Amino acid sequence: MTKLIKGFVLQKISFLLLFFLFVLTSQKALAADCSVNSGSDTNISADCDGFDLNSSNSNTITIDLGVTVSDGMYSNVIFLAEDLFKLDIKGVVEPTDMFAYGLYLNQRDKNNTLTLTTLDISGTLGSSGSDGRMGILMYNDATRNGNTVIGTLNNTGTIIGSTAMSLYSRSIITTLNNSGSITGGSGTGIIHIGNSTQADNGYFGTINNSGTIQGAAAAILLYNHAYITNLINTGTISTSGVGSDIDLSDSSYITNLYNDQGGTDALTINKVPTNYYVIINDGADYGKVKFNSVSSGTMNFNIDTTRSASGIDGATYSSVIEGLTSARLSATSGTSGIYTWTLSDSDNNNTWDLVIDSNAPSASNTITTVSNLTYATSAVFNSFSYISSYLNLSSYDCGLFDQQGMCGALFSRLVDSNGNNDTDFDYTAGQMVNGFKFNDNFRVAAFIDQMANNSLPSGVQLKNDSPLVGASTVWNQNKSKLGFEAKIMAAHQSKEITTTRIAVGDAEAGVGKTDIEMKAYMAELSYQYTVNDSFALRPFSGFRYSSIKQDAYSEYGVDNPLTFGAVSNETNTFIFGVQGKYIMNNKFMLTGSLGLEHDIKNSTSDVNTSSSTISGLTAVKLHNGGGVDKTRGSFGATLSYFITEKAKLDFHTNFQELTYHDSDLENFYISYAVGF
């Protein structure tokens, strides 16, 4: 450190000699060929010598890409003595001789403040060499009250010199954002020599480093009360010399240090910051800091939960701190957001491992939340299963035709299921059927059914954006509909579903969105015969294939999200039953039906979940212990009122047993059909 201080004292003397030479050679130093507009924006689009700004200019000066601005011996390239709104360096600002500066903010012998509001560098500012060249020099007189200020410095390019950036006395950079490189060849990357007689007058507000800051003596050196309020390092800060990456004199300090640099290149520093925040990306990528010869001060340790990855709990991160005794740590355990942590020096060698307790919910409570959700999910599957049932699909028909062979029907429907409070659902819907008769034996129909509203168990919501659609084809043996009838039907429905796991114990609530889809195909063969003039029977049998699939999804907005695998149900079902029609008079007809469904195949996948933070999760049955009813009964009754021979009203009710949780359903609808 003594060697460094001597070196910087000599450096400061050199600068004073420089200023003396600058005064003596001012005509040469200020000679400039670049043309800068007064009172308006300037684009420097061709190579030229440097320029000075001695009058207030609130505009923007841009050095275009591909342009080089340079100057000669004992001179600066860009000399600012008055305010400038913005300097945008896209090209190269190159001091060509020793003790030359790329950008010089000068407030020597002045009491007012000089401000460069924004400095953007995407090109190069400075030049390499060990002869005193600098990228940036900010200078003001210690005996005066003025400041040199850069509001925001954005470097995506290169700042380079013997010392890349040199700040003196009350020089201030409010925000430095570096994603490029700041390189000091023989000196430092950044040096701030504050005021030896006045504390806290020169500083960096915030340094955001995601690039590189390098120097031979030190990457960052603070001296004489200079300080950094926030240093956020997600890049690399390093020195090629034997000293620390960050060198702080006794009167200089860093308030908040956030660090991501680690691996085999731990960040080195010779003095504790007030607060140190480690950034953790994963088990192999996290911040490490090494302290050299620290004999005073205490440091508060914490985890930067804002910049760290999620799911970092339940792990040990080795050597996050080196070179500190416990006396230099204000605490060796604590909490950071949702994390509880401990610093452990198990070998008593002043090397501290970070142990973060598992913050993840228990697997058992999480499984309970999934299990509870299956009640609501099975209610949705029940509702989709009913849609594909025989009685429901058979209602989507239109058998009244006039001379044009057309038929239309409108339905208003109420559906109410009864199981337990966790599986009950109800909804209202409207539907429309259009049919066409090709001849006395062959007809087709298409239908659309739009849910108006629904009430489902807590945990699921269906978006009523996509209707149920389907079609049927019917062949009758006779015009009178006596004898054989064959029917083929198909239906499809898809909806967006939002699921919500309800918190249980330490298990969080979780929300996800996905899609659920139903496909159904049914073939039916029946035979109608008359018992007497008023009564006819129609035995029927059929086969139905249906599939219901809920897509895989991942939860969002939760600390420990679950990923749900796809859940599907596939059934092959035989259908048997009988339908009876009783003609009461020329206006009224009563229709009744009894049916039985039996699944010869009912394959339902388990609800599988996974998590990057929760281990031990197991599959849950969709029916969740409630069983699967493979044989289900149904009956229905319809009262028809014929307004005319080709127009009627139907009042219908039916009962249907459902697949899951011993549930059943009642359906009520009113329809109006007309032939035309």
Least confident of 126-135, 362-371, 541-550, 583-592: 126-135
- Does residue 440 carry a pLDDT above 70? yes
Compute the 3-state secondary structure of the chain and give helix, strand, coil in percent, each to the nearest 5: 10, 55, 35
Q: Please name the helix (run of DSSP H) or strand (run of DSSP E) that holds residue 444, with its range, or none.
A: strand 442-455
Burial-class residue 585 by CB neighbours within 10 Å (0-12, 13-18, 19+): exposed
**Residue burial 152-175, b: 16+ Cβ < 10 Å; e: rest:** bbbbebbbbbbbbbbbbbbbbbbb
Rounded to an integer, the average pLDDT of 596-619 is 90
Q: How far apart are CA 633 and CA 598, in angstroms?
A: 9
Q: How far apart are CA 335 and CA 377, in angstroms?
A: 38
pLDDT at 392: 62
- Does residue 21 carry a pLDDT above 70? no
Give CA separation, 669 vs 340, 379, 393, in Å: 59, 21, 13
Of residues 175 and 604, more confidently modeled = 175
Arithmetic mean of pLDDT over the chain: 87
Evaluate whether 169 touches 136 at the Cβ level (below 8 Å): no
- Does residue 30 carry a pLDDT above 50? no
Give CA separation, 102 vs 46, 128, 188, 558, 609, in Å: 17, 11, 16, 50, 59
Q: Which of 320, 247, 255, 334 is nearest to 290 (CA)?
A: 320
Furthest C-alpha separation in the chain:
129
**pLDDT tens digits for range 522-539:** 999 999 999 998 999 999
Rounded to an integer, the average pLDDT of 334-354 is 93
Q: How far apart are CA 574 and CA 631, in angstroms?
A: 10
Evaluate whether 189 touches 182 at the Cβ level (below 8 Å): yes
pLDDT at 508: 86
Q: How far apart are the first and last CA of the chain?
A: 102
- Does residue 454 carry a pLDDT above 70? yes
pLDDT at 13: 36
Lateral strand order in the sheet of 253-259: 42-44, 57-63, 84-89, 114-121, 148-155, 171-178, 203-209, 227-233, 253-259, 275-278, 300-303
Of residues 414 and 204, more confidently modeled = 204
**pLDDT tens digits for range 75-131:** 689 999 889 999 999 999 999 888 889 999 988 767 788 999 999 999 999 998 777
- Does residue 578 carry a pLDDT above 60? yes
pLDDT at 74: 57
Q: Which of 447, 548, 435 is nearest to 490 (CA)?
A: 447
295 CB-near residues (< 8 Å, 6+ apart): none
Instruction: Please report the beta strands in 25-65, taking only residues with DSSP state E, as ranges in sequence order.
Output: 42-44, 48-49, 51-53, 57-63
pLDDT at 558: 85
pLDDT at 449: 87
Q: How far apart are CA 129 and CA 62, in angstroms?
A: 26
Q: What is the DSSP string of 346-378?
A: TTSSSEEEEEE---SPPHHHHHHHHHHHHHHHH
**pLDDT tens digits for range 488-524:** 999 998 999 999 999 998 888 999 999 999 999 999 9
| Residues forming beta bridges with residue 38, ordered by sequence position | none
Evaluate whether 141 touches 107 at the Cβ level (below 8 Å): yes
As separate numbers, helices (DSSP H) first and strands (DSSP E) second, the chain gives 4, 51
408 CB-near residues (< 8 Å, 6+ apart): 398, 432, 433, 434, 435, 673, 674, 676
Q: Helix, strand, or coil here: 394?
A: helix
Q: Helix, strand, or coil here: 425?
A: coil
- Does residue 28 carry a pLDDT above 70? no
Rounded to an integer, the average pLDDT of 459-473 is 87
Share of residues in the chain with pLDDT > 70 (%): 91
Q: What is the DSSP string of 610-673?
A: E-SS------B-SSTTS-B--EEEEEEEEEEEEEETTEEEEEEEEEEE-SBTT-EEEEEEEEEE
| Residues forming beta bridges with residue 638, ordered by sequence position | 591, 652
Q: How far is CA 16 from the centre of its chain?
A: 54
pLDDT at 559: 80
3-state secondary structure string across 561-626 = CCEECCEEEEEEEEEEEEEEEEECCCCEEEEEEEEEEEEEEEEECCECEECCCCCCCCCECCCCCC
> pLDDT-based confidence at 545, cuts 50/70/90?
very high
Residue that has been written with the tokens 């020099």 in this structure: 137
- Does residue 595 carry a pLDDT above 70? yes
> pLDDT-based confidence at 200, cuts 50/70/90?
low
Q: Please name the helix (run of DSSP H) or strand (run of DSSP E) that holds residue 390, with its range, or none.
A: helix 390-395
Least confident of 144-148, 280-284, 402-406: 144-148
Looking at beta carbons, which pairs linking 462-469 to residues 24 or more positions away fall under 8 Å?
462/380, 462/495, 462/496, 462/497, 462/516, 463/495, 463/496, 463/497, 463/498, 464/495, 465/495, 465/496, 466/493, 466/494, 466/495, 466/496, 467/493, 468/387, 468/431, 468/492, 468/493, 469/493
Q: Which of 184, 191, 171, 273 is nearest to 232 (CA)?
A: 273
Of residues 4 and 228, more confidently modeled = 228
pLDDT at 221: 97
Of residues 340 and 32, more confidently modeled = 340
Share of residues in the chain with pLDDT > 90 (%): 59
- Does residue 401 carry a pLDDT above 90? no
**pLDDT tens digits for range 207-256:** 999 999 999 999 999 999 999 999 999 999 999 888 899 999 989 999 99
> pLDDT-based confidence at 596, cuts 50/70/90?
very high
- Does residue 173 carry a pLDDT above 70? yes
> pLDDT-based confidence at 31, cuts 50/70/90?
very low
3-state secondary structure string across 491-537 = EEEEEEEEEEECCECCECCEEEEEEEEEEEEEEEEEEEEECCCCEEE
Q: How many Cα neighbours within 13 Å face the side chain of 224? A: 20
pLDDT at 29: 39
Residue count (the chain): 676
The two three-digit tokens of residue 338, written as one number: 């949702």
Alpha-carbon torsion (589, 594, 599, 605), positive or negative: positive
Q: CA 110, 112, 113, 116: dihedral to nearest 10 degrees?
A: -80
> pLDDT-based confidence at 16, cuts 50/70/90?
very low
> pLDDT-based confidence at 18, cuts 50/70/90?
very low
- Does residue 165 carry a pLDDT above 60? yes
- Does residue 267 carry a pLDDT above 90? yes
> pLDDT-based confidence at 391, cuts 50/70/90?
low
pLDDT at 215: 95
**pLDDT tens digits for range 640-668:** 999 998 899 999 898 888 887 777 888 88
The two three-digit tokens of residue 401, written as one number: 């035709």
- Does residue 8 carry a pLDDT above 70? no
